[in-house]
Amino acid sequence: MSPILIIEQLLNGLQFGVMLFLMAAGLTLIFGVMGLINLAHGSLYMVGAFAAAAVAAATGSFFLALAASLAAAAAAGVVIEVFVIRRLYRAAHLDQVLATFALILIFAEGARWVFGSFPLYFDVPPMLSGPIMLPGGVQYPLYRLALIGVGLAVGCGLWWLTARTRIGIQIRAGANDREMIAALGVDISRLYTVVFALGAALAGFAGALVGAIQSVEVGMGDPVLIMAFVVVVIGGIGSIKGAFIGAILVGLTDRLGGIFLPEVFKLFMEPGAATQTGSALASMAIYILMGVVLVWRPSGLFGARA
């Protein structure tokens, strides 16, 4: 285990964490403000990736593709908010689970219907491709470094939006007391649409950014959705800060666990068995982390209420 390898893995964990944050931020906002559990958030991630791949194929421009992912996911968000989600704010969580589960089925098969069953081609732009030499002799893909930068920037932007702007005040107020801000004359239904579209756009953006280095295919949102849930549970529902710290924790645990657990087991087991036991445990590591956090703080690290 050289120090260079460890630094590289830390960067990988960080990069994965900030992408999870983009997903988790939307989930936690939507839940915090509207009290809605949205299983279809992973579908919006997929919508973003598919839109980006389609636009990149048509225009050849990576940045147009990113813009398309934001627009398409936000538009999909508005459509489902207006036609489905809006009717569910007062409904039980159970109805929300079922309706958004139905949306997953519709989005997944719809995407397959439109784009076919084969994965789509979508790649990083030439100016961001290839590795870069960091101080200390660490060679690291430039694109991943850019992802970390973008993730941190979005995080700062969200913090500024919620802490410093008028709409941010409304969002925070909406999370605390819905009736009151409606009584103060804020158009609550428009606020909800905006928040939902924002969350959707973040998910779609993450899908497009990650889609460039992974495969763009139906069902790509499911595993990310569940990890984002873990992040939200750890960070505390409704808290952007919690989502950020939770996401980094989960990202680091997942990446470092996959590398170091097998090494740890090799200290007292024969290598083949150690690799297998280590990998099996590593695949459960983030859930164990979640369990530990729950025992310690049932409403998450920064959750106001359970």
Partner 1 sequence: MIKKLLLSAAIALVGTAAASDVKVGMITTLSGGGAGLGIDVRDGFMLAITQAGRSDIEVIIEDDQRKPDIAVQLSDKMIQSERVDVMTGIIWSNLAMAVVPASTAQGVFYLSPNAGPSALAGRGCHENYFNVAWQNDALHEAAGAYANQASFEKSFILAPNYPAGKDALTGYKRLFDGDLAGEIYTKLGQTDYAAEIAQIRASGADSVFFFLPGGMGISFLKQYAASGVDIPLVGPAFSFDQGILGAVGDAALGVVNTSQWNKDIDNPTNAAFVASFTETYGRLPSLYASQGFDTANLLISAIDVAHPDDADAFRAALMAADFDSTRGDFAFGSNRHPVQNIYAREVVKEGDLVTNRILSVTLENHGDVYAADCTR
Partner 2 sequence: MIPERFITFAVPAGLFIIAILAFWTDEPFTITLTTRVAILGLAAVGLNIALGIGGLVSLGHAAFFGLGGYAMGILAYHAQTYSPLTLGPLVIEGTKSMPVIWIVAVVTSALAALAIGVLSLRTSGVYFIMITLAFGQMLYYFSVSWSAYGGEDGLSIYLRNEFPGINTLVPIQFFGLCFVLLCLALVLQARLRGSSFGLALNAARQAPARVETVGLNPVRLKLLAFVISGAITGLAGALYADLNRFVSPSMFSWHLSGELIVLIIIGGVGRLVGPVIGAALFVALEHWLGGLTEYWHIGLGAILLGIVLFSRGGVIGFLTGKAGPNV
Does residue 127 belong to the site contacting partner 1 (CB under 8 A)?
no
Q: Tokens at residue 134, please? A: 């960091």
- Give 137's contacts (C-beta < 8 A, 6+ positions apart): 4
Contacting residue, 83, 90, 117, 136, with partner 1 by CB under 8 A? 117
Query: Does residue 91 touch partner 1 according to CB under 8 A?
Result: no
Among positions 127, 215, 273, 291, the unique one binding partner 1 when judged by CB under 8 A: 215
From the list partner 1, partner 2, none, pick the one residue 226 interacts with, judged by a Cβ distance below 5 to 8 Å according to partner type.
partner 2
2 near partner 1 (CB under 8 A): yes
Residues 175-214 that bind partner 1 (CB under 8 A): 210, 212-214
Which stretch, 29-37, 61-69, 188-196, 280-288, contacts partner 1 (CB under 8 A)? 280-288
The span from the first CA to the last CA of the chain, in angstroms, equals 41
Q: 115: how many CB neighbours lie within 10 A of its CB?
A: 16
3 near partner 1 (CB under 8 A): no
Among 283, 288, 292, 298, binds partner 1 (CB under 8 A): 283
Residue 254 C-beta: closest distance to partner 2, Å: 11
Q: How far is the CB of 247 from partner 1 (least distance, A)?
A: 14
Tell me whether residue 273 is exposed, middle or buried, using C-beta atoms within 10 angstroms of its C-beta: 0 to 12, 13 to 18, 19 or more. exposed
d(CA 111, CA 246): 31
Q: Is 125 in the site for partner 1 (CB under 8 A)?
A: no
**Which residues contact partner 2 by CB under 8 A?**
31, 35, 37, 39, 84, 87-88, 91-95, 97-99, 101-106, 108-110, 112-113, 222, 226, 229-230, 232-233, 237, 276, 279-280, 283-284, 287-288, 290-291, 294-295, 298-300, 306
Could you tell me the two tokens for 101?
């589960």
**Which of partner 2, partner 1, none is residue 95 near (CB under 5 to 8 Å by kind)?**
partner 2
Q: What does the DSSP assignment read for 79-146?
A: HHHHHTGGGGTTS-HHHHHHHHHHHHHHHHHHHHHHH-SSPBP----GGG-SEEEETTTEEEEHHHHH
49, 122 Cβ separation under 8 angstroms: yes
Asked whether the beta carbons of 198 and 7 are under 8 A apart, the reply is no
Query: Residue-wise over 153-188: b if at least 16 C-beta within 10 A, else e?
Result: ebbeebeeebeeeeebebbbbbbeebeebeeeebeb
Q: What angle do CA 19, 165, 17 make, to 5 degrees?
A: 10
> Among partner 1, partner 2, none, what binds residue 193 when CB lies within 5 to 8 Å by partner kind?
none
Site residues (vs partner 1, CB under 8 A): 2, 4-5, 8-9, 12, 15-16, 108-109, 112, 117-121, 123-124, 129-131, 139, 141, 143-144, 210, 212-220, 223, 255, 258-259, 262, 271-272, 275-276, 279-280, 282-283
